Structure 1
Amino acid sequence: MRILPLLLLALAQPALAQELATLRPFATVEEATVRLDDLFEGLGARGATPLGPAPAPGQRLVVEAAQLVAIARRNNIPWRPTGGADRVVLDRPGRALAREEVLEALRIALRPQGVEEEAELELQAFNPPLIPPAAFPQITVEQAVFDPATQRFGASLAVLADGMATQRLRLAGRAVTTLPMLVATRRMAVGEVVQAEDVRLQRVPAAQLRPGAANSPEQAVGQALRRPAAPGQPLMMVNLSQPLVVERGSTVTMQYDIPGLAVTAQGRAMEGAARGALLPVMNLGSRIVVEARAIGPGRVRVESRR
């Protein structure tokens, strides 16, 4: 009676041994090492077995059928090719090293050789290296050389991050002198008085600096615009003036400069004027137009002729 169960068990074991592992056609490798479960599914704890280095960040590795057969045999995995295009594509994600990270390291290395702190560094044919997405890169600049006569520089860059081999590349470029230029931060209309939050300093290559552009907030804050300004547009000194204290066509108080007397009258401003500027004003009583000086909001002084 015991022979039949034993026989059935013996027949069942080869059937279980013939159950094939499932191939994983595509896999994303996050770490620096390729493991068994990047190639085959359902291996349990065995899936953590390391096989070799992963492709570099941003690169792809294709494991063909012959390699898969060898890996399966070496690790006692029941798998064999189906006769089709059996292969596994391994992708390693990567992010490009930020250009500013490289430029900052270059500035520090080139500063002792005479490169101005505010100079703009232009790189020639720069292809940023790829690093693991979550890695913190360590950037080292080696053999930095700067020529003050031509403003050109050269250097070697070493990039190290967890999960990848050290990458080295050669950099070349030039340092460009920059100067400050005041630009608008918002759209402003004619006559608006510039406030501190309406402007910001922006450094531009010296060759691109527009002649007559304001280069400090003190030159513009408190001034009125003679022309509209758009965000990012440089503010030109010729388009800035003292704000008007007298509007054209407005009624003003006319103060006559007569020794020993305080005489005032109502007048109409024929032009707008900033504080201290001269403008024609018509006396509303006599209808005579005289020249007066704006001395405050809605007030002008008619000075006696000597």
Structure 2
Amino acid sequence: MRRRALALLPFAALPARAQGIPPAPRPLVLAEDASLRLGELFENAGDAGQAVIGAAPAPGRRMMLDASQLSMIARRFNLAWRPLSGEERSIVERPGRPLPREEVEALLREDLVRLGMDPDAELELPGFAPPSVPLGTLPQAMLESSSYDAATRRFATTLVVAADGMASWRGRLTGRALSTVPVVIATRRLAVGDIVGPADVREIRLRAERVRPGTAQRAEEVAGRQLRRPIAANLPYVLVDLTAPTIIAKNQLVLMVLDGPGLAMTAQGRALEAAARGDRVPVMNLGSRSVVEAEAIGPGRVRVLPGAVPVQIARRN
């Protein structure tokens, strides 16, 4: 029994050696809260691991501790560690997420509308970067000392953001309220000759300075019209590029209708030009070979007005 107990002594000493592993700084540290603790920075810090070294970086930020700073921290807390070279360092990062810009703009818009800003104006915030807040928190944002000049459309305010695990953030916001106008844009790419359907249009607002004259501003100005030029998705429709849809194609066989008091006649003809509803189009009567001007009244149908005279068609040599 004594010999067996002696044989186990080396194994019983292993935990004591494990407790003697010297401390060492971690190359990368992820700080969990606003305070940085010794045990987060140094491995095997022992009983002093819960001691607070100082403030951690702000959420979403990082800081670097070089060899001399790490050595000073080790001496302060009596850790048996010395840098082997001046290249040793620790990077301390604080996870975070940026406060959604949309939330800031919604809060700012509500405040500025109360001060007289156009509700449809676009907010210009040059240089603004939303602050970061700790992960898993519900931040609270508020505005202080907001002002708005209706003549210049310039505004200024102070944004205050508070959340658990961070000091309150305060930042000055300045910018302009830009006038906007309604425009109609294409929801998909359309080719020449396509007829714009209700699903092909979307109404949005754009800065007035970016909208060219003649841009469609209402969906009813576009839907049902035919394109003279192709258009890419998300581009605005221009009225000059739209026309009434063609209901008769060039050289198409049509039914010629002649209406009058006590008179109703029909004949077969050939349209010599394309035409939209209500357009005048020259049509050749296939029976008499004469050409008259008629009105396009429907797909494949034209109306010859009483008293219509033959149209002279120039022949090419």
TM-score band, normalised by shorter chain: 0.7 to 0.9
Q: Deviations over 1:103-145 (max 9, x none)?
A: 2111011111111111011113323323234433321111000
Query: Contact 1:95–1:133 at 8 Å: present in 2 too?
Result: yes
Deviation at 1:271, TM superposition (A): 1.1
Runs of 5+ unmatched residues, structure 1: none
Partner of 1:27: 29
Give the distance between the partners of 2:244 and 2:183, measured in 1 at CA. Answer: 20
Residue 43 of structure 1 and its aligned partner are, at CA, apart by: 6.2
* Distance in 1 between residues matched to 2:147 and 2:288, nearest whole Å: 80
**Which residue matches 1:84?**
85
Q: Contact 1:55–1:61 (CA<8 Å) still a contact in 2?
A: no
Contact persistence 1:35–1:51 (CA under 8 A): yes
Aligned to 1:39: 41
Tell me which residue corresponds to 1:66: 72
- In structure 1, the residue matched to 2:268 is 266
Alignment-derived partner of residue 313 in structure 2: none
Asked whether the 8 Å contact 1:65–1:87 carries over to 2, the reply is no
Secondary structure of the equivalent of 2:283? Answer: strand
Structure-to-structure mapping, 1:146-157, within 5 angstroms: 146-157=148-159
1:234 paired with 2:236, answer yes
Cα distance change of structure 1 residues 68 and 36 upon mapping to structure 2, 3 Å threshold: same
Query: Counterparts of 1:189 and 1:163 in 2: how far apart (Å)?
Result: 56
In 2: Cα distance, 1:110 partner to 1:300 partner: 59
Partner of 2:207: 205
Tell me the TM-score normalised to structure 1 length.
0.86
How much does 1:301 deviate?
A: 0.8
Q: Secondary structure at the match of 1:64?
A: helix
- Structure 1 runs of 4+ aligned residues shifted over 6 Å read 43-46
More deviation, 82-91/292-301:
82-91
Cα distance in 2, alignment partners of residues 179 and 225 from structure 1: 23
Structure 1 position 98 matched with structure 2 position 100: yes
Out of 166-175 and 45-54, give the one that drifted further.
Answer: 45-54
Output the CA distance in 2 between the equivalents of 1:159 and 1:166: 6
Instruction: Tell me which residue corresponds to 2:119.
Output: 117
- Tell me the distance in 2 between the aligned counterparts of 1:19 and 1:160: 41
* Equivalent position of 2:311 in the other structure: none
Unaligned 5+ segments in structure 2 are 309-317
SS for the counterpart of 1:191 is coil
- For 1:217, the equivalent position in structure 2 comes to 219
Paired AA for residue 246 in structure 1: I
How many Å apart are 1:80 and its aligned residue?
2.1
Q: Give the letter aligned to residue 261 of structure 1.
A: L
Query: How many positions carry a matched residue from both structures?
Result: 293
Q: Identity of counterpart residues, as a percentage?
A: 45
The Cα of 1:175 is off from its aligned counterpart by 0.7
Q: Bigger shift: 264-273 or 125-134?
A: 125-134
Contact 2:185 2:203 in 1 (8 A): yes
